[in-house]
């Protein structure tokens, strides 16, 4: 399949253009020719030297990632930036990136994947960012004890062997859950305003402890990487349905 066709289909499915003025990431095709034939696609959370090398070993023509190379552009392609980009150019490996569009997608996105893991129902977009959303919220059919939610997250996420951190300040039973993966504690006040019992995210900021304590809400910090494998796995399944060979490159950080 032509690279340009894959890029167009991904951009359309993910609503890439809707996040153009909201996301520091240069979403879409970051590295690659205007045209090229793609047979094998690798997916990974992070666009880094290790995933580039593993994609090359897998004989991939395209690597699709959540965290790309460009966050506002490059001043110079030298040093570590050059070292990262060089394998892509030297091996004709194209790089496609979807950051916030993949966070906010209500079916394929990272938050949707966490909601699936927790068995949430009655879902709706959560985590406003301008006119768009970067997360999801839902309601558990059977409210669970906080420890049960933490255990479910630890069992279902690739945390790199690290425990899920839990700020245990909410009610005895958790029913309404807000999710913003990655670094999502900036939406803690939004979760409180929405009467959520818990906020599930990847990593936190120091102030989140006291904010959660004062608001009486649970916060689960399940790891930035761990909460953001769902989106690229969904894209792997999607492009597989388009007749392309695919592989998932799992490089957990434990963070």
At 125, list the tokens: 């977009």
Q: What are phi and psi of 133, to 5 degrees?
A: -130, 155
Known binder of ligand: residue 99? no
Q: Which residue has the tokens 């994947």?
A: 113
**What does the alpha-carbon distance between residue 234 and residue 16 come to, in Å, rounded to a whole number?**
16
Phi, psi of 234 (to 5 degrees): -65, -40
CA 18, CA 104: separation in Å to the nearest integer? 11
The C-alpha angle 19, 153, 175, rounded to 5 degrees, equals 80
Q: Is 103 annotated as a binding residue?
A: yes
Nearest to 204 by CA among 226, 219, 225, 189: 219
Say if residue 132 carries a ligand binding annotation.
no
| The 3-state secondary structure of 113-174, one letter per residue | HHHHHHCEEEEEEEEEECCEEEEEEEEEEEEECHHHHHHHHHHHCCCCCCCCEEECCCCCCE
Distance CA 54, CA 47 (A): 11
| DSSP-H helix ranges across the chain | 3-14, 49-57, 79-90, 100-104, 110-118, 146-156, 188-193, 208-215, 230-241
Would you list which residues are annotated within the binding site for a divalent metal cation?
Answer: 66-67, 103, 224, 228
Annotated binding site, which residues? 66-67, 103, 224, 228
């Amino acid at each position: 399949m032509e690279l340009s066709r894959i890029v167009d289909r991904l951009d359309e499915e993910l609503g890439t253009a809707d996040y153009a003025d909201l996301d520091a990431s240069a979403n879409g095709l970051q590295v690659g020719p205007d045209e090229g034939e793609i047979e094998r696609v690798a997916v990974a959370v992070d666009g880094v030297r290790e995933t580039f090398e593993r994609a090359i070993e897998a004989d991939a023509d395209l690597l699709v990632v959540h965290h790309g190379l460009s966050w506002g552009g490059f001043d110079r392609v030298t040093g570590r930036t050059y070292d990262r980009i060089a394998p892509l150019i030297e091996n004709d490996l194209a790089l496609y990136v979807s950051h916030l569009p993949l966070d906010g997608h209500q079916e394929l996105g990272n938050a949707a994947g966490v909601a699936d893991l927790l068995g949430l129902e009655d879902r709706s977009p959560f985590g406003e960012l301008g006119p768009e959303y970067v997360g999801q919220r839902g309601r558990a059919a059977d409210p669970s004890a906080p420890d049960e939610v933490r255990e479910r997250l630890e069992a279902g996420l690739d945390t790199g062997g690290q425990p899920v951190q839990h700020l245990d300040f909410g009610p005895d039973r958790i029913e309404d859950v807000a999710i913003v993966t990655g670094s999502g504690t900036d939406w803690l006040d939004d979760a409180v305003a929405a009467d959520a019992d818990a906020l599930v995210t990847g990593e936190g900021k120091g102030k989140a402890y006291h904010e959660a304590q004062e608001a009486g809400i649970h916060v689960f910090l399940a790891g930035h990487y761990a909460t953001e494998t769902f989106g690229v796995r969904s894209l792997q399944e999607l492009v597989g349905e388009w007749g392309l060979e695919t592989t998932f490159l799992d490089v957990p950080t434990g963070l």
